[in-house]
Structure 1
Amino acid sequence: MKSALVVEDIESMAESMTRSLQAVFPDIQVRTAATLASAIQQVNDLLPDIILLDLGLPDGRGSNLLLHRAINEKVWVVITTIFDDDEHLFEALRLGAKGYLLKDDAGDVFNSALAGILEGKPPLSAGIAQRILQTFRPSAQESDLTPREHELLGLVARGYSVQRAAGELGITYNTAASYLKNVYQKLEVNSRAEATRKAIQLGLV
């Protein structure tokens, strides 16, 4: 890493991030920008190898910088923000951010995350990494359903009565009713309509 741009409107935070970059990449040249307009100008003047990008800037959303035509896959754009919600996180990742660090992770934790770039590791705050994993992991309730319960849920969601679903699955009415009761408990639903919505979410309908 030879050059960096810190896009941050709080001066003390920009100085802290500059020190972190210099500690991890000793020979790096660091520029700073306090606004989106200034950041765009800095990118136009000299495309940096790494950009630490705040999302809340005085003149616009920091994520708009990710749309700049000059920023390509070789540039490490790492979001540095206080926002830890899904909306900000996944918008930034969809636009091409290669990392997402919370400003609370100052000091050694922040530096260690940046150092991972040298090994090709995306810098992610621990809480952010967990949020990303959770998004693609079935909930405990959903994953608790047995294959038979999945099948029964799919049939009920298609409008089958319990009796008809039992016949389709080759089981007794009482067994099917027991399965359905388990499904309701595991998914924490109380009606066929709620169960149907869950079945749609699970891709069973």
Structure 2
Amino acid sequence: MSTDRRRIVLFDLFGVIARHQRPGALEKMAARCHTSTDAFTTAYWAHRPPYDAGRQTASAYWTDVLHALSRPADAGTIEDLRLTDIDSWSRVDDRMVTYVRGLRDRARVALLSNIPADHADAFLAAQPWLHDLDHLAFSGRIGAAKPDPAAFRYCVVALQAAPADVLFVDDREENVRAAQAVGMDGHVFWSQDDLASVIDAWLPTR
């Protein structure tokens, strides 16, 4: 075990530190495929889990989506969709970024995000402050996506911690319940002010 016994706040990315998908992005990608937004959205999410979990490449994912829509899966279309998709998940909440970075004075801070590997590469390039955190666990790189217990167990091992040392913060209740099932504390994120109160109570007094 690590000699650093400070508690760990393990953050989700999208919906907590980063914004949810850019409005209009699915409509834009649907138009590129010459299909309805509803049909595109169904195919987009139905084929997403193995891509998020690193069991499928971006090319294979988009090929599956296009085939589900009865559209040709040519390289140009796949790359246009891939880049539009990455851009649609690129926004951060600057106030939360400042809060998370400041929290490192009081706790170890890590990240567990469901994000494909190529998205993670782009996000890291655009947000270099992420490299200052104590650990980054991206589903596309670790081979497990929330709420799979393996994703949380990976973080425990990587951080050389006990589950009880960790507070997991996510905007999805099912992911928080999954973290609690492996022994972590958990908090469903609603706002930064609410979160700050929870973390202040959870961390030992100075």
TM-score class, shorter-chain normalisation, is 0.3 to 0.5
Q: TM-score, normalised by structure 1?
A: 0.34
Q: TM-score, normalised by structure 2?
A: 0.34
Structure having the higher Rg: 1
